[in-house]
Amino acid sequence: MRVKKYVANTEKEAIQRIKNELGSDAIILNSKKVKRNGLWGLFGKKNAEVTVAIDETGTGKKENNGENNLHKDNQIKEELQNNYQAEAEKEKLLNKINEVKQQVNQNTADSAGITDPVGQNQNFSNQEQKLQNKESNNKTTEIDELKEEINETKSMMQNMLSEFKKMPLEEERLPPIAKKYYNNLKNQGVLEEINKDMINNTLNKVTNSQLDDEYSFFKMLGQEIYSRLDYSVKKKNNNLPEIITLIGPTGVGKTTTVAKLAARFTLAEKKKVGLVTVDTYRIAAVEQLKTYGDILSLPVEVVLTPQELKNAIKNFSDKDVILIDTAGRSHRNEMQMSEIKNFIETGNPSISYLVLSLGTKYEDLKEILRKYENIRVDGYIFTKTDETETMGNILNIVSQTKTGFSYITTGQDVPDDIEKVDINKITKILLGD
């Protein structure tokens, strides 16, 4: 018995070939649909494959009667019919799968923006990777564009803020509470640029709800003012005796302030004090200081030269504090300013105070500061606060020079009218409290 397979386009064609080659004695063992190779196994052509057996003797017949052969033929026909049905169902299923995959391919190609001719489809994973890469690149581009937009906005806001600070503040556009305190500071003589900067800083800190809460705004603006006043006096050393020199233009009340400090150190702090005056240009000033010395039982030295100042300091080496009153000099006289500088360098004080009157206009104070910029100034004493309704120049001077202050004077009475600095108190006054 020999077994042989025949493959043809159709089963009918295969059977015809079998009959032509083997005759009618060949026995059909199996028939099925097969598929030639195609792309992904999807597009191959289907053929009929028929398996037959033939007796090597060439008869192809059984020795049984014709009924057996007829029964066998009926079985074969039934088997072929079943195979046809199975193959038909299988073909339908494969066709459906092909349709779905082709649709997916087409959608992928459309999404990626490419044309995929029939028979030239790319692998699904390649298409998916391209889409993922494209999405990733798009997201990266969007993020970069967003970052650039944010940076441009920040730059624009900074430029707007810079320009805003150069322009007069539009009071009518301020929230009511901010407007109130802006006007209070303005009335106290605070420079507009400082006032505006503090109001803006406070507005940036408060929340929307706090704009209607006066206490919150008052507190935050107060902190802004406090930070601009809170500078330490630059004490040079802690040697004893502590040498304190007062310098400044004429008429600011240096001699009276020396007497007030002497009384404070002697009566309140129980310190031993020595007084020195180099103000020989005003006889009345020397006599005034001697009078205070007599009242407080304090020794007074009058000196004319830097060397005499050295000797006076040496004579007071047993004291806790030495207070030096210098002559009032016009800040417009360069020779007199040079003389003051020489006395300061010779005396080498622990603290050199520049005494300024709050009754002086800001522009004049600014010029005084310019003339004293080459002379050592460790801190300020502000006098004659009783002669002005405003305290803004304290904030103007201290915040711009970043130099602290220790005392303010509030009248002519010795020893009462002098106060050690209380920044909280000054802040409240500036805010109109």
| Mean per-residue pLDDT of the chain | 80
What is the rounded CA–CA span in Å between residue 101 and residue 121?
A: 11
Strands 273-277 and 27-35: unpaired
pLDDT at residue 62, as a whole number: 42
26: CB partners within 8 A, 6+ apart: 18, 19, 52, 53, 54, 60
In sequence order, the β-bridge partners of residue 352 are: 245
pLDDT at residue 403, as a whole number: 96
Tens of pLDDT, residue by residue over 138-163, are 667 777 777 777 777 767 766 655 55
Tens of pLDDT, residue by residue over 101-111, are 566 555 545 54
CA angle at 384 for the pair 346 and 278, rounded to the nearest 5°: 25
Does pTM surpass 0.85?
no
The residue whose two tokens read 């502000």 is 382
What is the rounded CA–CA span in Å between residue 278 and residue 324?
A: 8
